[in-house]
């Protein structure tokens, strides 16, 4: 029997977006490495060798790494809200806001990397995440 839990949809969309960024990272990184005749060096300190790639190539990898950081908290809180039965209404709106803002953040970072705008988007997405967390705390504590 299929059970529909609406808040899981933005979770799956953000995972799918992370895979898009993974692909974009390698579609740009591998040709850049070949153009520079770069051979992976297992003895190079973490990330040092990749720092020689053009900034516009590194931005995709930087964003992919960012999608492995704060969104893990998003996944946890969304799963908690889904299990608690509160995956609709304002929580669903906040989850979609978080995902939409994170996708906008990714595109901005991968294409032009305007840090001031990226920070604003990060702040807005963090506010959505704080809202989700507050709502989950309110549910479990009161």
- For residues 77 and 80, give the distance between their C-alpha atoms in angstroms, rounded to a whole number: 5
Q: What is the pTM of this model?
A: 0.93
Per-domain residue ranges for the chain? 8-141
The whole-number mean pLDDT for each consecutive block of 10 residues of the chain, a chain of 142 residues, reads 89 98 97 90 80 93 97 98 97 98 98 98 98 98 94
pLDDT at position 1 is: 67
Environment class of residue 41 by beta-carbon count within 10 Å: exposed (0-12), middle (13-18) or buried (19+)?
exposed
pLDDT at position 4 is: 86
- The architecture that CATH gives domain 8-141 is Up-down Bundle (1.20)
**How many Cβ atoms from other residues are within 10 Å of residue 133's Cβ?**
17
The conformation of residue 45, written as its DSSP 8-state character, comes to P
pLDDT at position 137 is: 98
């Amino acid at each position: 029997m299929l059970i529909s839990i609406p808040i899981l949809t933005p979770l799956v969309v953000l995972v799918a977006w992370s895979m898009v960024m993974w692909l974009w990272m390698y579609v740009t990184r591998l040709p850049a490495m070949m153009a520079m005749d770069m051979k992976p060096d297992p003895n190079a300190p973490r990330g040092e060798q990749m720092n020689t790639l053009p900034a516009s190539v590194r931005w995709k990898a930087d964003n992919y790494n960012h999608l492995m950081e704060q969104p893990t908290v998003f996944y946890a809180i969304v799963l908690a809200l889904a299990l608690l039965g509160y995956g609709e209404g304002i929580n669903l709106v906040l989850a979609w806001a978080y995902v939409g803002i994170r996708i906008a953040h990714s595109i901005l970072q991968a294409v032009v990397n305007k840090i001031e705008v990226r920070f604003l988007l990060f702040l807005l997405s963090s506010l959505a995440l704080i809202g989700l967390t507050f709502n989950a705390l309110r549910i479990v504590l009161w």
